[in-house]
Structure formats: C-alpha cells, structure tokens
C-alpha cells in the first residue's frame, strides 16, 4: 500500500543536521587524538568536513521540496520567501558574529580579522555575508560562517533556478553555466590583489556558491525525483539506498584521506581530485543516502528521528556556529585555568595526581557536551522565539495571517 505523501517537515532529515555538524566538529579537533590513532585514521577524521556538503545538499532538497511547485517571481512572494530565510538564518548569526568582534575588542585575537585594517568595516562585511567572496577574509569573524555566504547565494538564486527549469527545461545546464561563470571570474580577478576576490580556482570551487552549486543542484534533483515518485514510495524495510549511500559517503572520505595534501593546505580536499570527489561524487552519494532516508524503513532512520536527536538537529545550526571560534576559545581558557588551579591545589596537598583537564582528548569531549548544552539553551531561548517573531511580524511584508479573513492566503514556510 502506498504511504501518505511526504510532509514538508521530515524528522530524520532534521537529525541528519546534527550528524553533519558533529562531523565538522570532529574534522576541526581530530588533532587532539593524534597520539591515539594511526596516521591513516587521523587523515580520515580530518576529512570529516563533509558535514558542510551534507548541509548544502540538504538545503537544495528542502528549498526545492517546499517551494518548487508554488514559487512565484512576484514581489510579495519573494519578500515572504526572503523573510522566512532571514528568520531562519540571520538572528543567531548576527548575534554570534557581534560576539566575535566584541571578543576581539578585548582579546585582539588576530584570526578574527586576519590583518584587515578596519575591524568595524570587516564586521559589516561579515554581517552582510560579503566576506565570503574574498579568499583572505573568508575565515574572519566566525570562521565557519563562510558557508553561510554560499547558502545565501543559493537562497537568492533558487527561485530563478526553478523558473528556468520549468520554463525552458534547462535544469542541469544552469549548473554548468554557473560554474563556468565562476571560472570566468577567477580568470579575470586572479591577478588582482583585492583580498583574494575570486583569486584562484581552489577558492572558487571550495568556498563559493559558483563552485559548489552542484551540491545544491543534487539536492534539488532529489526533491524533484521524490515529488514524482511519492505515489510509488512504499516505505518497506529496504536498505539499499540508505546504507549504500552511507557507505559511498565514507568511501569518498577515504579517497580524500589518501590524496596528497597540496603545499600550504591541511586536507586532501584541496587536491584537484579531492575537489571533484567532495563537490560531485560525495554530493551524489549524499543524495542517494537521503533518498534512502525518505523512502526506506531502517534502524538508522529511526535513530535520526528520535526526539532527542531531532532536538540536537534543531540546535545544530548554533552548534555549528559556536563549535569553533570565540565561544569555544572562552571555554578552553576556563579549562586551562581550572587545570592550573587543580595542580596548585595538589601542590598544597603534596599530591602527585592527574587533573581531569590535563588531557586534550577529554577536553574536546567536555567542550562537545557543553557546546551542545549551550546550543540547545540558545535555540530554546533565542533562536526559536526570534524565528517565530520575525515570521509573524511585518518585516519586509505585512503578515496576512493576523487578519482572520486572509489567514488562508498566508504563505507558509
């Protein structure tokens, strides 16, 4: 018997957000386990940046699944669409970015500005997502926030991608045109000393929407396939797509982990074939995995749909923004202070004991737990309330849902 059509909200895909964020966390702190694992395992963990690709494919799927059939290139529709995107992404990003620059005022942490002459100017480049177009500025502010420039570019372009896909039936041609446009910008600006604005092909392919658009197109294609096959999705206990796609994802990780790391880089991702593997092979594997989660009944799907995992997924955006940078550094400084205080206490007692804060791998575990707790707290007290407030406000467009007569006309997210 055919199951009911898929709803806009899919718990397992919310759980996947947590998985993606934790993979990125591991990639940034794998060094803490260098003494515990062989070099090959270290390299493997170092390529867990794949969580970013998971986010990109998921964004492509969700935006297409929700909007492809009902988008309208009208002023009101576009305002409502942008209002929903701002409500979802912007409040916490703005607040945490402001926190990063306030922290810089007191700490003068060089990595926050990366040598840029005007912290105030750089702050505005960060909160407007412009810094993501410059190779030398992409890691300023909240370093991992570069990916939000990619996301925002996709959000702005998605309705037009849908339009050309429907009107001219030229879906995949758009991906090729966008990528070639990015290559053209590199050819124009690679010899211009402007903070690395489209300064090289590695930057374009790894850190801009023009180079990474295939990942979003893979998600869009998945949404279109699922929409066409909803009446044929039976939800039986199949496993091929789920576990086959999951295995293929980590085969891609293994491929990147055995590639030579280019000079000055930190991962096989930066090797030319690493870029191909990450942007194309990995994105396809993730789309296959998602198709399995949507159409098959598996243990993994049930785990990702657990209420607590779902909560972790909902708060994973905040976790992603705070797991690296000023908030993590603040907690790490406290761990160092506590470690020193404990050893001073041991000296007074005349004891030669170990401190619970002297091991890097345990400190990473403590940080993981605390940052998850902080993420959930911020999600419940700030992100979720602000999200609802902006959606129900008159920001950009008057909220028609406030008028009972027009409630049926309100545009849903």
Of the chain, the percentage scoring pLDDT greater than 90 comes to: 84
Does 237 score more than 80 pLDDT? Answer: no
Q: How many CB atoms lie within 10 A of CB 260?
A: 11
pLDDT one-digit tens code per residue, 367-403: 999 999 999 999 999 999 999 999 999 998 998 765 4
pLDDT at 1 over 50: no
Return the closest-CA partner of residue 289 out of 332, 318, 333, 246: 246
Residue 326: the pLDDT is 95
The length of the chain in residues reads 413
DSSP assignment string, 78-113: HHHHHHHHHHHHHHHHHHHHHHHHHHHHHH--GGGT
Q: Give the pLDDT of residue 406.
A: 37
Note the pTM of the prediction, 2 decimals: 0.93
- Report the candidate in 151, 125, 154 with the shortest Cα–Cα distance to residue 138: 125
Neighbours of 398 (CB within 10 A): 14
Nearest of 27, 33, 8, 2 to residue 223 by alpha carbon? 8
Distances from the Cα of 351 to the Cαs of 50, 254, 340, in angstroms?
Answer: 45, 46, 14
CA separation for the pair 54, 254 (Å, rounded): 16
Q: What is the pLDDT of residue 408?
A: 35
**Helical residues (DSSP H) of 194-260, grouped into ranges:** 201-207, 209-228, 240-258
Distance between alpha carbon 113 and the CA centroid of its chain, in Å?
22
- pLDDT tens string 121-178: 999 999 999 999 999 999 999 999 999 999 999 999 999 999 999 999 889 999 999 9
Q: Are 43 and 257 in contact (CB under 8 A)?
A: yes
- 143 CB neighbour count, 10 Å cutoff: 16
| DSSP, residue by residue, 365-413 | HHHHHHHHHHHHHHIIIIIHHHHHHHHHS-SSS--GGGSGGGGGGPPP-
Q: Residue 260: is its pLDDT beyond 60?
A: yes
Give me the residues paired with residue 134 across strands.
197
DSSP bridge partners of 197: 134
For CA atoms 227, 231, 233, 235, give the dihedral sign: positive
Quote the CA–CA distance of 193 and 205 in Å, as a whole number.
Answer: 19
- Tell me which residue of 212, 81, 273, 55 sits closest to 144, measured CA to CA: 55
- What's residue 399's pLDDT? 85
Measured CA to CA, the distance from residue 394 to residue 16 in angstroms comes to 32
- The domain ranges of the chain are 40-67+109-305
Q: Is the pLDDT of residue 252 over 60?
A: yes
Region 285-310: what's the mean pLDDT? 95
Q: What is the mean pLDDT of residues 42-59?
A: 97
Instruction: Say if residues 63 and 288 touch (Cβ distance below 8 Å).
Output: no
Is 216 exposed, middle or buried (CB count within 10 Å of its CB: 0-12, 13-18, 19+)? buried
pLDDT at 413: 39
pLDDT-derived band at 229 (thresholds 50, 70, 90) equals confident
With H, G, I as helix, E, B as strand and everything else as coil, classify residue 134. Answer: strand
Q: What is the pLDDT of residues 303-342, one digit of tens each?
A: 999 999 999 999 999 999 999 999 999 999 999 999 999 9
């Amino acid at each position: 018997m055919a199951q009911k059509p898929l709803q806009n909200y899919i718990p397992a895909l919310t759980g996947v957000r947590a998985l993606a964020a934790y993979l990125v966390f591991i990639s940034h702190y794998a060094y803490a386990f260098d003494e515990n694992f062989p070099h090959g395992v270290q390299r493997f963990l170092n390529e867990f940046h794949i969580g970013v690709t998971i986010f990109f494919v998921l964004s492509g799927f969700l935006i297409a699944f929700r909007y492809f059939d009902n988008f309208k290139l009208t002023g009101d529709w576009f305002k409502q669409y942008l209002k929903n995107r701002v409500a979802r992404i912007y409040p916490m990003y703005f607040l945490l970015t402001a926190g990063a620059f306030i922290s810089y005022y007191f700490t003068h942490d060089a990595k926050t500005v990366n040598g840029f002459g005007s912290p105030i100017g750089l702050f505005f480049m960060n909160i407007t997502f412009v810094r993501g177009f410059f190779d030398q500025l992409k890691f300023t502010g909240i370093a991992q926030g570069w990916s939000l420039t990619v996301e925002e570019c996709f959000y702005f372009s998605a309705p037009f991608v849908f339009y050309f896909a429907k009107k001219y039936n030229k879906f995949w041609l758009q991906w090729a045109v966008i990528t070639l446009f990015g290559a053209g910008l590199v050819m124009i600006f690679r010899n211009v000393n402007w903070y690395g604005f489209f300064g090289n092909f590695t930057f374009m392919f790894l850190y801009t929407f023009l180079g990474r658009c295939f990942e979003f197109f893979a998600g869009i294609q998945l949404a279109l396939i699922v929409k066409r096959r909803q009446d044929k999705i039976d939800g039986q206990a199949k496993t091929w797509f789920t576990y086959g796609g999951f295995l293929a994802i980590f085969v891609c990780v293994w491929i990147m982990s055995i590639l030579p790391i280019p000079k000055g880089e930190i991962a096989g991702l930066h090797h030319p074939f690493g870029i191909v593997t990450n942007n194309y092979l990995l994105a396809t594997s993730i789309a296959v995995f998602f198709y399995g989660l949507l159409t098959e009944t598996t243990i993994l799907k049930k785990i990702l749909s657990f209420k607590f995992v779902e909560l972790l997924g909902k708060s994973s955006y905040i976790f992603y923004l705070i797991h690296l940078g000023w908030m993590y550094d603040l907690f790490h400084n406290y761990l160092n202070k506590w470690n020193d205080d404990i050893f001073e206490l041991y000296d007074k007692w005349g004891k030669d004991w170990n401190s619970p804060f002297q091991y890097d791998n345990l400190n990473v575990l403590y940080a993981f737990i605390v940052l998850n707790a902080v993420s959930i707290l911020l999600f419940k007290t700030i992100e979720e309330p602000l999200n609802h407030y902006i959606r129900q406000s008159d920001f950009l467009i008057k909220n028609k849902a406030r008028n009972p007569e027009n409630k049926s006309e309100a545009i849903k997210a």
